A and B are shown apart, each in its own frame.
Chain A
Amino acid sequence: SQQGEEDPQALSIQEGENATMNCSYKTSINNLQWYRQNSGRGLVHLILIRSNEREKHSGRLRVTLDTSKKSSSLLITASRAADTASYFCATDADDYKLSFGAGTTVTVRA
């Protein structure tokens, strides 16, 4: 079963706008990761946040983690057409398995 669930399922924004998506999970975690997937093929790792961290930045990406609410958010600032993709959160609730949500599909309109 999927540990993480992303919200919303789909998001359409204008180029230059910010995109925010959320991930909720059910059990305690050690780490939470965000991945991007283009065209339904391989995933690309974006960022990893550990359970003792609350916020992390990487370029135009900002990730927050609230372990008390069992939730994380991914913010993409100043979106570009190339950001059009599906975004997945993944948690490591089990010893070594990553559990992926169903993803948020982001469309950036030119």
Chain B
Amino acid sequence: GAGVSQSPSNKVTEKGKDVELRCDPISGHTALYWYRQSLGQGLEFLIYFQGNSAPDKSGLPSDRFSAERTGGSVSTLTIQRTQQEDSAVYLCASSSQGIAYEQYFGPGTRLTVT
């Protein structure tokens, strides 16, 4: 079956521009996560959506970052006024029920801010 998909796979943007990253989770998965991974580093939690509950935004590094999940499915991560330190791979994952279950990751979006 289809896995988690993300688009675009690569994004190069100029400093100060806004970007939108998209995640299509596995159909039926209620939990959706966004992570950020800088070169050679582990994953940094950004935000978590579970069903219709209010999302946990505690991992977002600044108010330039926001995310939405429409209809309990597709999610968009928006970064406003991008900075060079935002350059990283942004990974989306979904899970059938939450933390006690394995997460299925998308291939990621590599963001480069010039």
Contacts and interface: CB of A to CB of B under 8 A. Distances in A.
Interface of A: 2, 30-31, 33, 35, 40-45, 48, 88, 90, 92, 95-103
Contacts of B31: 96
Interface of B: 4, 31, 33, 35, 37, 39-43, 45, 48, 50, 56, 59, 89, 91, 93, 98-108
B56 A96 contact: yes
A30 B98 CA distance: 13
Contact of B102 (A45, A95, A100, A103): A45
B99 A96 contact: yes
A88 B4 CA distance: 19
Contacts of B101: 48
B102 A48 contact: yes
A46 to B, nearest CB: 9
B103 A42 contact: no
Interface centre among B31, B42, B45, B102, by most chain A C-beta atoms within 10 angstroms, is B42
Nearest to B9: A41
A88 B45 contact: no
A24 B31 CA distance: 26
Contacts of A88: 42-43
B105 A98 contact: no
A37 B102 CA distance: 14
A100 B42 contact: yes
30 contacts: A2-B42, A31-B99, A31-B100, A33-B102, A33-B103, A40-B37, A40-B39, A40-B108, A41-B107, A42-B4, A42-B91, A42-B106, A44-B105, A45-B103, A45-B104, A48-B101, A48-B102, A90-B43, A95-B99, A96-B50, A97-B45, A97-B48, A98-B33, A98-B43, A98-B99, A98-B103, A100-B42, A101-B42, A102-B41, A103-B42
